[in-house]
Structure formats: structure tokens, C-alpha cells
Structure 1
Amino acid sequence: MQVVLPRIGTVAAWRAEARRLAAAGVLPETVLWSVGEAAPDLFAASPAPRAASVAFRLPRVAVESIETALMHADPERFARAYVLVLRLARQEAIWGDRSDPALHRLLEQEKAVRRDIHQMHGFVRFREVTPPGANRRAFAAWFEPAHHILEAAAPFFARRFGDMDWLIATPTLTARFEAGELEILETANRATPPVDATEDLWRVYFANIFNPARLMVNAMTSHMPRKTWKNLPEAALIPDLIRTAPERVAAMRAAEAAAPGPKLQRRLRAISAQREGR
């Protein structure tokens, strides 16, 4: 049996299909899941064996974790999740048991998806594309997430930037927010937005707040993965800032050593105040 899920609303569609299949007693090994279009199946004409009907009654935390993990890029995620929910419903597995390999994998995938959403919230960089004479400013951004997270991540931007029109395009889906309405579409144009003047200002600001004395490259790349750098305007500065960090730290220390200490500075200020009082 082939189940073709839509590219938009994939998780909700999987949930409905999984409930339907479980109620019909369809075995996991007889289902071929795909997104957008049917996958080739050499055994499509063979009758699918059935089992007893299963009704889902899962804890809310389990449903939330499973649906988050379904945004992972793993092509087998739908089949694995269907197997797991059947086991949970039949009490053949216990939610939260990380010694269960299938559950452990799902929880790790959930963690990866949540981390990807967090990174998208932090690393989307808008460029202004306001047409002449428009009443609302308009912005566009291109982002390449590791997983299928746009639908889950987009409401954050709608809440934060509700006073402007914007568009965030990814290789598969695009979020468009116009006049207060959020819409998810399939991506038709993969061209990145044109560079605007604010990027130069942002680079200047980033270079000035960069503290070479607190540089920890591993921690920085853990928080800002290198895969995101190509879409970050400030990323072009990072290699040079890292390379020159030791020299800048040495210069900062030399300047600090040459400057008078705090006690001497207070004494000099007191003397200066006394002279001005005369």
C-alpha cells in the first residue's frame, strides 16, 4: 500500500493516515510512505495482509515528540514512526525508555529538529525588497535548514515581524507573510534576494562587538554551524577575525599594561578636580 503525503501539512497528513491504517489493521511492513509523489513499488499489486485494529491513545508528550521528529530529514521517518506508535499503542514499548533503540533514535531526531528550528530563528537574515510607493516595508530571506522545519519555525517570525511583509524561502517550501496573513507555499524561485545596504552596517557592527579575548572556535561553530555561514553576511568576516584574534588580544593587553591602574586613575581625577576648583 502506497501512502503519498503532501509537501505542505505533511505531519498532520501522516497522523491522519497512521490512525486510518492502524484502525484498518494494516501492518507496517506493507506500507510504502512517500512525500509529494508516489515511489515505485514492484509489489503494488500484491494483497496486503492485515492484523487486528489498533486505536491510538498516546500521552500528549509522546505525540508532540513524534510529530516533531517527523520533520527530520530521515527518509524512513514515517515508516519508523508508524511502527513505534503501533508498539506504544499495544504496550509493547514504554514511552521514555531510551534503552529501546527505536525510541532512542526518535528522541535524538526530535532533538536535532528542535536545534535546527532554534538555529533558523537565530540565523535568518532578511534583505529589504520594499517596492517604491509601498505602504509596508517588505523583506525576503533565503535559508537552508537541515530538516523540514519551515512550517514549525515560521510562526515565530510572524509574531516578531508582524508589522512588515516578509518572505522566507527554503529549497522546498516558502513562508510568505503579507498584510498579517501567513501562508506556506512550495518554493518556485530558488534565487537569493539581492544584497541591500544594511548588510554593510551589520558587518561593521559585528566586527566591533567581536571580542578576540573570549574567542572559542569550537563553541562558536557549535552555536553557529559552518553550514549556515554561506547565508550570513557577517560570516565572511569570521575567518579573518579568528586569524587576527591573537594579535588583537596582545594589543589589548599591552594597552591595558600601559594604562594607569584604577587607584592611580582615581588619584589623578581627584587632583584634576582640585585644580579645577581653584
Structure 2
Amino acid sequence: MTSAFIEPTFAAWRSKARELLKQGIPPDQVHWGDASEGHGLLREEPASYTISVPVEIKVPPNFLSLAASVCAHTDDRRHAILYRLLYRLTLGGERHLLRIPSDPDTRQCQAWAKAIGRDIHKMHAFVRFRLIGQDDTTGREQFVAWFEPEHRIVRLATPFFEKRFAGMDWSILTPDECAHWDGKKLTFTPGLDRSQAPSADAHDDLWRTYYRSIFNPARLKVQAMQSEMPQKYWKNLPEAQIIRDLISGSQERVQEMLETPERPVKPVPDNAYIRSLHQRPQ
């Protein structure tokens, strides 16, 4: 039995899986563990494997993106099942395995990947940056956000923020890992405690004002809203403080909207350009 204790990252799993695969070690002979939990590497029992390993092992391109998502999941079985899937795709000769959704390993890994995709979507939607200062040298504003994802998705989710907020310095703090952008490169540091995140600032009022302005009581569907914005995220969203008040007052606002007289329709401006738009082509 071979013990593989690795850091909980895709890069660590890929490196170890490549090493095991080159040795032809079958999945049932590998015990996977998390090195970040304080486990040391156990002594590996010497073993000989008669399987013939090709010099170059070809991995299907779509497997790598799947593996990156699966490794971000928190299920303890992910590394073992993912290596078994890899082994079957390569040394096992099942090249089309990813096209068989009914296969247990394929189905499980794809389910994990979907969960990661949902978690990344929530992070993109619910991260709220807070202004903490300005760099005296560069003049760039500096922002910090706190977020609590379900899985270890920081490295998968932060390229979105790198592109969208390239003009400011920011840090996203999470319990597992933190991401930092300084305008040139994206770096990562170990996770932090919630107490180390910044408190509310003036931008929170802007978020609440914006949310209040787009809230439409006539189209309110509480269950659908809670499905898209689960209550577990509310504690870190500044606009969440007014959601219950908006919901409780929605009926009165709808009635007020119904009783408000319609505004008169403004006449269409009479100019040559507008008239040309209404003329049918000959």
C-alpha cells in the first residue's frame, strides 16, 4: 500500500497522481490523505507492479478541467476517486469513460464539478469589497472582502475579480485561503479568521441604496430569491440588513404602485431623423 498525503490543491494532486501513474500503481493500492491536517507521510511498503506503463501517458484534455474542479471540493473521497478515474482513462484503456455519464466514477466527479461551479457563481455574486485605504505611492485604492465558500474555490474564482477589478488593489479573505491582487500579479496566502476581516464602511450604505432601488415588490418571489441568495450568505451582505423590511412592506408598496396615476405619455419628438425611422423602405 502506498500512502499519498498531499496539500489540498489541484497542483499537488496532479503532481502526485502523475508520479503514481508512471509507476503503474493501481488505485486500490493508494491511500490518499490531507497533509494540511498535520499528517506526515507514512512509510510506503515496497511493491512491484507488472503492468506495462507507456513512455508517454496521454490524458484526455477535458479531464484536466474536471480534475481542477473536483480537487476544489471538500469531500474526503475526491482524490481517490479522481485518481481511479484517471487510471481507468489511461492505463485502464477506457478512453471514452468521460462520455459515459452512467459510470459511477464519472457521475460522482461531474456532480462534484457542478457543485464547485455553483459555489464559484455564488462567490462572484456575493463578494462585497470594502475600502480600507489608498496606496500613497501608486494612488490606487485598496479594498478587502470577506467570503465563506463551501469549498476551496479561491484559485478558481479569483481570475474573475482580477479582470473585473484590475484597477484597484484588493484582497479576498476566506477561512481556507486568501487571494491578493496588486495590479500586476495574483498571490495567495493561508486562510484567516472572520475577526481579521474589515468592518462596515460607507460603501455598505451604497449597496443598500442600490438594492432598495432595484427591489420590485410586484415581482417578489421569496422562495426563488432565497434559492438564489441563500440565507447563509446574508451575514456578509450589507444589503441583507434591509431584505426582511422590504419583504414585509412589499404588499403596501404594490398597493401604492397600483394607486399611483399613470404618467402621461410624452409625444415623439418631431425631427427629420425620427421621421426617417418610421418611413418604410420603398
Sort the TM-score into its range (normalised by shorter chain).
0.7 to 0.9
TM-score (norm 1): 0.84
Q: 1:145 aligns with which of 149, 157, 162?
A: 149
Q: How many residue pairs align between the two structures?
A: 259
Instruction: Quote the residue 1:274 is aligned against.
Output: none
Q: Secondary structure at the match of 2:162?
A: helix
1:144-179 CA distance string (max 9 Å, x none)? 111111011111111111111111011011101124
Instruction: Quote the residue 1:33 is aligned against.
Output: 32
AA at the equivalent of 2:23:
A
1:249 & 1:189 partners in 2: Cα distance? 42
8 Å contact from structure 2 (residues 175, 192) kept in 1? no
1:83-162 equivalent positions in 2, closer than 5 A: 83-89=84-90, 90-92=92-94, 94-131=97-134, 133=136, 135-162=139-166
Unaligned runs of 5+ in 1: 271-278
Query: Do residues 232 (structure 1) and 233 (structure 2) align?
Result: no
Instruction: Quote the residue 1:19 is aligned against.
Output: 18
Unaligned runs of 5+ in 2: 268-282
Instruction: Quote the residue 1:172 is aligned against.
Output: 176
Q: Secondary structure at the match of 1:121?
A: helix
Q: Kindly, what percent of the aligned residue pairs are identical?
A: 40
1:238-277 equivalent positions in 2, closer than 5 A: 238-255=243-260, 259=261, 265=264
Q: Secondary structure at the match of 2:74?
A: coil
Give the C-alpha shift of residue 141 in structure 1.
Answer: 0.5
**Which ranges of 4 or more aligned residues in structure 1 deviate by more than 3 Å?**
37-41, 43-51, 53-56, 131-134
TM-score (norm 2): 0.83
Over aligned residue pairs, what C-alpha RMSD do you find? 2.5
Q: Secondary structure at the match of 2:83?
A: helix
8 Å contact from structure 1 (residues 172, 186) kept in 2? yes
Q: 1:216 aligns with which of 212, 218, 221?
A: 221
Give the C-alpha shift of residue 194 in structure 1.
Answer: 2.0
Q: 1:185 aligns with which of 189, 192, 196?
A: 189
Q: Secondary structure at the match of 1:242?
A: helix
Instruction: Quote the residue 2:76 is aligned against.
Output: 75
Query: Do residues 194 (structure 1) and 199 (structure 2) align?
Result: yes
1:2 & 1:163 partners in 2: Cα distance? 45
